[in-house]
């Protein structure tokens, strides 16, 4: 399954961003009516120009993406959809740019900062983050499915190790993350070596816990879930995701090219 318009749950991700020390609000710079909404828990993600002398703000609250329009006197705010004289929705594109795109940029940074194991050439042009559970048979199948691109140096997978499927999944994830050479350990495991969960330093176990939190904050539920960037017609980079095993067309799209 692919979700092209919303990689994340805005409300859950905003909470995680704040816990991670990433602010999605510019509360100290907001006009009073917009600040009042921010004080009520609304996340303000970006500002944009709007017709009629209005100033727009992209926001989210309780998982809903919302536009706020500040009146020219900056004394009042209107919440909702702005339309023109032909009834065209002028808000949707602004929400996509100033809420979804902004949060996707934050999301990509969180993926980069998560605890992952390199699989493939670090200089490969196509980067794919994939949430991997050591007990996931579909993760194993996905690993095998991607070998032509990885072995050719065209794609690098970054396995964000989580533990959700079985009681020993967190322990196995910690063993792999805590290995002297995590990439080699993961490769041996994927090639058939049996690993057993065992106690790891607290720092390593906390890495698995943090990865699990990120998985949950993004509203994900299946492994593998893979994230990659795609270029839009106007040249912007946006995040796409695939939960589970991709079909052939989606696999090629994710890998960035047909199989070498």
Q: What domains does the chain contain, in order, with CATH numbers?
A: 10-111 (3.10.450.70), 115-255 (3.40.30.10)
Please state the length of the chain.
Answer: 260
Catalogue the E-assigned strands of 72-124.
Answer: 77-79, 116-119
| C-alpha to C-alpha distances, 68 to 105, 151, 242, nearest whole angstrom | 21, 49, 32
pLDDT at 26 > cutoff 70: no
Asked if residue 3 has pLDDT above 50, the reply is no
Mean pLDDT over residues 184-211, rounded?
96
Average pLDDT of the segment spanning 123-145:
97
Q: Quick: pLDDT tens for 227-237.
A: 999 888 877 78
Angle at 60 between CA 57 and CA 66, to 5 degrees: 60
Is the pLDDT confidence value at 113 over 50? yes
Indicate whether 187 pLDDT > 60.
yes
pLDDT band of residue 7 (cuts 50, 70, 90) is low
What local confidence, expressed as pLDDT, does residue 1 receive? Answer: 29
| pLDDT surpasses 90 at 117 | yes
pLDDT tens digits for range 52-80:
999 999 998 876 889 999 999 999 999 99
């Amino acid at each position: 399954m692919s979700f092209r318009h919303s990689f994340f749950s805005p409300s859950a991700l905003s909470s995680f961003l704040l816990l991670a020390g990433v602010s999605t609000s510019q509360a100290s710079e907001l006009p009073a009516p917009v600040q009042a909404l921010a004080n009520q828990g609304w996340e303000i993600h970006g500002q944009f120009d709007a017709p009629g002398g209005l100033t727009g703000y992209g926001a989210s609250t309780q998982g809903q993406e919302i536009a706020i329009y500040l009146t020219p006197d900056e004394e009042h705010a209107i919440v909702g959809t702005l339309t023109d004289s032909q009834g065209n929705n002028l808000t949707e594109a602004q929400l996509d740019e100033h809420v979804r795109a902004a949060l996707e940029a934050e999301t990509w940074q969180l993926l980069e900062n998560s605890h992952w194991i390199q699989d493939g050439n670090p200089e490969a042009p196509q980067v794919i983050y994939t949430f991997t559970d050591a007990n996931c048979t579909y993760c194993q199948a996905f690993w095998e499915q991607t070998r032509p691109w990885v072995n050719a140096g065209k794609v690098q997978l970054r396995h964000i190790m989580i533990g959700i499927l079985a009681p020993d999944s967190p322990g196995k994830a910690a063993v792999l993350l805590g290995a002297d050479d995590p990439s080699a350990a993961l490769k041996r495991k994927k090639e058939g070596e049996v690993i057993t969960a065992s106690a790891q330093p607290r720092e390593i176990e906390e890495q698995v816990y943090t990865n699990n939190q990120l998985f949950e904050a993004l509203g994900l539920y299946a492994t593998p879930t893979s994230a990659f960037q795609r270029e839009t017609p106007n040249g912007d980079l946006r995040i796409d995701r695939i939960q589970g095993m991709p079909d052939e067309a989606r696999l090629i799209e994710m890998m960035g090219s047909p199989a070498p």
